[in-house]
Structures are given as structure tokens and as C-alpha cells.
Amino acid sequence: MHPAFSVVFFTTATGAGYGLLALLGVLGGFQIIPPDLWLGFIGLGLALGLIAAGLLSSTGHLGRPERAWRAFSQWRSSWLSREGVASVITFIPAGLFGIGWIFFGRTNGWVAIAGLLATCGAVVTVCTTGMIYASLKPIAQWHSRFTLPGYLIFSAMTGSVLMNALLQGFALGSKVLLAACLLLTMLGWGWKLATWRYNDRLEIATNANTATGLAGGTVRSLEWPHTEENYLLKEMGFRIARKHSARLREITQLLAFALPVLLLVAAFALPWPFAAVVSVIAAMAQFAGMLVERWLFFAEAKHTITLYYGC
């Protein structure tokens, strides 16, 4: 698949934003963190800002962005439409949670309920995003047991690392949260390696012979179906060289997993504000690494329709 940057940024930014929003809703709703004005303003601003930026960037991949609103009407059958509906609904409790925290200085009572509802909405929205890809049977690399859990793991991972950087910046760092960040990053690393191993060993049953029913020989096209590149070739006929894929996988592991783990371990030993500095660097490195990971997620996927074009 052709990895459009708008979609790469969308899945990365919204995943981190929803992960951070979910944690703010839980930690704030249960009064684990104080209802500090600037903590709420910056934390919710960062979470909702990432979500809004990601959602807006996704419209850049549409042929007619002004018609994006029509996707909301297909929620009965389309995971893309369900994602849009869930994302909009989540803004309602998230907005109430922000109003209560920032303007009323409280995270208990109805504000806590709004925060927990925002957490639920964030989890549901990430699930719908994952199902957009996991439900696509023509793309075997996505239609697997690894896709949906991967979206949830990476959202929790990037959200927790952002949360740690935020709390460290306010001198509210927690060893428990640091440990959770480390565990989630290691889990994400292991899940990504398992996904790559599965995809590399994947044997797609369909080929040009089985698709045409001519299994007795080798089927090939005598000439190209089109005289010039069309939409299908542009979007689904993308190829990435094996050596480039291997190099990008190494970069992903370094930036998204290895470097954040080392920096988070250092945050355990360093006093404030040095712990805050390395925590912020860990969050930035991980976000950059996840952009590369998302690019590979699209670039390494192969749509069955490419058989028609001999790709």
C-alpha cells in the first residue's frame, strides 16, 4: 500500500492523543493526580490537540475532503464511519472533563464521571481505528490477530510515555508510572517483532493462477491492463525494497522502543529536573519512531488486487 503521510500522521497522533486522554481521565477521575490548572490545561490541550490534528490530517487523503461528513452516515456497516462517530462523541465528555478541571478546579463528582466516559470513548475510538484495517480481508498483513491489539498496545504505550513526560515536567513523576511505561514499551516492542515475524512467514493462498482458476500452469499478463498509472496502482501497487524495509525496521526499534527504554531507565535514577528532560526526549523519540513504524505498516502491506497488475 502507498503510505500517504496524512494517514501515517493520523494513526500516530490520534493513537498517542487517545492514550494520553484515557490516562488523564482515569488518573484525574480517581484523584490520583491533583486538579492543577496548568496540568489540566497542558495535558488535555496536548491530548485533544494531537487528536484534532490527526483527524484533520486524515482528510488530506480524501479526493473530496468537503464530503468527509458523509462518512458518518454509514456507521451501521463501516468501521471508518464508526471511528468518525466515536471520535466526535468522545469530544463531548472530554470537553466537560476539561471544563470542570480547568474552570472549576475539580476532578471529582460529575467531572470524574466525564473523565471516565472520555476514557471509554478513547478506547472505543482506538478499537474502531484498528478494525478499519483488521477487517480488510484482501490485505493479509492487516487481516490478522495482531492488528487490533497492536493499535491498543501502541496507544497505551505512547500515551503513557507522554503522560510520564507531562507529570515529570510538573515535578509529579511517579515510579509506578515509569515502570508502567517501561513495561508497555517492552510489550510494544515484543508485539511488533511478533507481527513482523508473522508477516514475513505469511503465505498468501491466492495468486494469479488460483484467481483465474488456471492452476495447471503459470499465468501472466501479455500486456498491462492500463496504458498509464491509475488510482489502484498509485494506492495499492507500492513496493518497498527488502534492504530499505530492514533498515527502517532497525530505525523503528531504535527510536520507538530501545532509546525510550534507556531514557526511562535513566529517569529512575536521575533527580528532577534531569528526569523530566530525559522523559520529554523519550516521548519525542518514541513519537518519531512510531511515525516510521506506521509508514512501514502501510508500505509492507500488499493488496490482493495487485495480482491483476502483476505486482
pLDDT over 80 at 309, yes or no: no
Give the per-residue pLDDT at 57: 83
Using DSSP's 3-state secondary structure scheme, residue 81 falls into: helix
**What is the pTM (predicted TM-score) of this model?**
0.90
Q: Pick the residue with more confidence: 79 or 227?
A: 79
Q: Mean of the pLDDT values across residues 289-293?
A: 96
Q: 139 - beta bridge partners?
A: 303
Give the per-residue pLDDT at 76: 79
pLDDT over 90 at 239, yes or no: no
The CA angle 263-268-272, to the nearest 5 degrees, is: 95
Rounded CA separation 252/246 (Å) = 10
Q: What is the pLDDT of residues 36-56, one digit of tens each?
A: 999 999 999 999 999 999 988
Give the per-residue pLDDT at 149: 96
> How many other CB atoms are there within 10 angstroms of residue 259's CB atom?
19
Q: What is the pLDDT of residues 246-284, one digit of tens each?
A: 899 999 999 999 999 999 999 999 998 999 999 999 999
pLDDT over 60 at 7, yes or no: yes
When mean pLDDT is compared over 149-153, 221-225, 226-230, 242-246, the highest value belongs to 149-153
Mean pLDDT estimate for the chain: 87
Domains and CATH numbers, the chain: 5-62+70-309 (1.20.1630.10)
Name which of 293, 303, 139 is nearest 237 in CA terms. Answer: 303
Give the per-residue pLDDT at 139: 84
Name which of 94, 127, 88 is nearest 113 in CA terms. Answer: 94
Worst-scoring range by mean pLDDT, 131-140, 176-185, 207-216?
Answer: 207-216
Q: Phi/psi zone of residue 31: left (φ > 0), alpha (ψ -120 to 50 degrees), beta?
A: left
Name which of 77, 34, 8 is nearest 252 in CA terms. Answer: 8
Return the C-alpha cell found at 162.
507522554
Give the per-residue pLDDT at 23: 97
Q: What is the pLDDT of residues 67-88, one digit of tens each?
A: 666 667 777 778 888 998 999 9
Q: What is the pLDDT of residues 97-135, one digit of tens each?
A: 999 999 999 999 999 999 999 999 999 999 999 999 999
Give the per-residue pLDDT at 81: 86
Q: What is the pLDDT of residues 133-176, one digit of tens each?
A: 999 888 888 889 999 999 999 999 999 999 999 999 999 988 99
Return the residue matching grid coordinates 515509569.
178
